[in-house]
Structure 1
Amino acid sequence: MKVKKYSGELVDFDLRRLKGSLVKSGASSETVELIWEKMSKTIFDGMSTRQLYKLAFQLLKQQRNSLAARYSLKKALRDLGPTGYLFEKWVARLFEHTDHQTLTGLILEGNAVSHEVDVIAQKGNDLLLVECKFRNTVDAKVSVTNPMYFLSRFVDLRDKEFNFFNRPTKFTQAWLVTNAYLTKDAIEFGNYYQLNLLSWDYPSGISIKSRVDSAGLYPLTCLTSINTQEKDKLLSLNYILVKDIVEKPDILEHIGATTYRRRKIYQEADELVNGLSTNFE
């Protein structure tokens, strides 16, 4: 059987890959087999990968909201759009998790020109210049021109001393972070010039997906039990992570939900972050 990719290309349907993605959502082997049994009665030759995803998502949601939420991570990152502003905020939280202090949305004067800087992160003697490349299409790739351009910006800024977090310091590392994929040339160029690259699936084992799953750093847009308007309200108040709800359940009062709905939202958030359910207070 063939499935149609977002680009329109027809490729062989990979059952092992589908089941693997369901397992990564946290579904048990029994649940995976149950979902596949239902999917196998519906799928057809030439079905789009988008339709396949929606079907799997719906069936996971019927089993448990948190399974569907984890399965939707890639889409949830795209839902931080349409601009890259919220993605930059989320990337800052990613670095804060590893004990960095962060700043976002600054304009810095380089040796030659001024630069809009997405994220600055500092830990110990290291000062990181972070460039965020947000993409809101399914198969988007970041080409080699992006790390080339970013390298030139880093070079223009790295010899200058800046005062962040009450201490003078210079940039020591350059990071290019994207929710999309990196082309082979982009990776080779970045590695050669010692740029730190972080994308949806790169580097292996410590990619965005790996970091999110291991640390529970899911964007709030993952949640399936609140609607878009409610998500937008919380995001506007700078609540970026599902963890924010787990740590401060009272923030759900901002969306005007009933106690019952707040309990359901909290349960999904807690299961997504911690893998188990605790009491809502």
Structure 2
Amino acid sequence: MLVKKYSGELVPFDETALRRSLLRSGASEETVNQVYTAIQNRLYDGISTKELYELAFDSLKSKRSSYAARYSLKRALRELGPEGFYFEKWVARLFQEDGYNSMTGQTIQGHAVTHEIDVIAQKNEELLAVECKFRNDADAKISVTTPMYFKSRVTDIMDLTFRFFNKELKFTDGWLVTNAYFTSDSVKFGTHYHMNLLSWDYPAGNSLKNKVDNNGEYPITCLTTISDQDKAMLLKNQCILVKDLLRDDALCERIQITKEKKVAVIQEAKELINSPLEHE
């Protein structure tokens, strides 16, 4: 059986890969078997990856909302668009959760030209320039020209002193972060020049997905118990992470979620953040 990717390319259906992704939702092997059995008869030759995802998502949600929420991470990151403004906010929060101070959208003067830095992060004497590359396409890849360009930008701002977070500091390194994929040439270039690259699946074992699953920094767009309109309202209220909702559940009242709905939302959020992943 063949599956049609977002790009239109037809690839062989991979049952093992599907089961693995279902297990990463936090569901037990028994639950995954039930989900696969439920959708198996609805698979057909030429089914799109989008339809396959929806079948699996709906079946997981019928078992537990938090399974579907975790399974939807890749789509939830794309929902931080359409221009990636909230993706930059989310990346800044990732660094904050790791103990950094961070800010977004700063313009600085380099040796040669000015640069708008998506995220600036600081911890002790470390100052990082972070470039965020947001993509709406599920199969998008970042070509080698992007790390080449970013390396030149980092070079242009190195060895200059800037004042951030009440400190006089020089940039110590850069990070290139994307919700998409890197091409093999991008990885080769980044590896050769010791660049910090972070994408959906790179580096292996410490990718963007791994970091989120390990640390619980799920974007608010993961939640399945609230509408797209609710998500947009929460983002406007600077509720970027699911953790933000648990830290301040008054946000639910602020966007006029009913008491009954709030119970379901908070339960899903707690399960998503607090339930350990047993399957890697």
Q: TM-score range by the shorter chain?
A: over 0.9
CA distance in 2, matches of 1:186, 1:4: 26
Structure 2 residue 64 is matched with structure 1 residue 64: yes
How far apart, CA to CA, are the structure 1 residues paired with 2:167 and 2:247? 31
Within 1, Cα distance between the matches of 2:178 and 2:226? 26
How far did residue 122 of structure 1 move? 0.7
Q: Quick one: distance in 2 between partners of 1:184 and 1:30?
A: 36
Aligned to 2:100: 100
Measured against aligned partners, the alpha-carbon deviations of 1:210-267 in whole angstroms (never above 9, x if no partner) come to: 0000111000000010001111111001110001111211111112111110010000
Which runs of 5 or more structure 2 residues have no equivalent in the other structure?
none
Partners in 1 of 2:249 and 2:7 — Cα distance?
A: 41
Is 1:211 paired with 2:211? yes
Does structure 2 retain, via aligned residues, the 8 Å contact 1:158–1:172? yes
Residue 178 in structure 1 maps to residue 172 in structure 2: no
- What secondary structure does 2:206 align onto? coil
Q: Which residue of 2 is the match for residue 15 of structure 1?
A: 15
Equivalent position SS for 1:37: helix
1:109 alignment counterpart:
109
Which letter does structure 2 place at the counterpart of 1:16?
T
Once the two structures are superposed, what CA deviation does each residue of 1:143-176 show, in whole Å capped at 9, x if it has no partner?
0000111111111111210011111110011100
Task: Return 5+ residue gaps in structure 1 as ranges.
Answer: 277-281
**Which residue is equivalent to 2:73?**
73
Looking at structure 1, the residues matched to 250 and 275 of structure 2 have their Cα atoms a distance apart, in angstroms, of 21
- In structure 1, C-alpha distance between the alignment counterparts of 2:47 and 2:167, rounded to whole Å: 57
1:1-281 correspondence runs (5 A): 1-275=1-275
Paired residue secondary structure (1:11): strand
Say which SS state the counterpart of residue 107 (structure 1) adopts. strand
Contact in 2 for aligned 1:110/1:160 (Cα 8 Å): yes
> Distance in 2 between the 1:140 and 1:95 partners?
24
Q: Distance in 2 between matches of 1:194 and 1:130?
A: 15
Q: Normalised by the size of structure 2, how large is the TM-score? A: 0.97
Contact in 2 for aligned 1:243/1:269 (Cα 8 Å): yes
The amino acid across from 2:110 in the alignment is G
Determine the C-alpha separation between the residues in 1 that align with 2:258 and 2:237.
20
Q: Any idea what SS the aligned residue of 2:61 has?
A: helix
Offset, 1:124: 1.5
CA deviation vs aligned residue, 1:105-155 (integer Å, no higher than 9, x gap)? 110011111111100001111110100000011100000000111111111
**C-alpha displacement of 1:73:** 0.1
- Look up the SS of the partner of 2:118 in the other structure: strand
Distance 2:209 2:243 in 1: 16
Give the SS at the match of 2:32: helix
- TM-score normalised per structure 1: 0.96
1:5 deviates by 1.3
Q: Moved runs in structure 1, 4+ residues, more than 3 A?
A: none
Tell me, yes or no, if the aligned pair for 1:233 and 1:254 is still in contact at 8 Å: no
Structure possessing the higher relative contact order (Cα contacts under 8 Å, 6 or more residues apart): 2
SS at match of 1:260: helix
Would you say how many aligned residue pairs link Structure 1 and Structure 2? 276
Q: Percent same amino acid among aligned pairs? A: 55
Q: Matched residues in 1 for 2:127 and 2:144: separation?
A: 24
Cα deviation 1:14-47 (Å, max 9, x = unaligned): 1111111110001111111111111111111111
> How far apart in 2 are the matches of 1:16 and 1:197?
28
Structure 2 counterpart of 1:149, one-letter code = Y
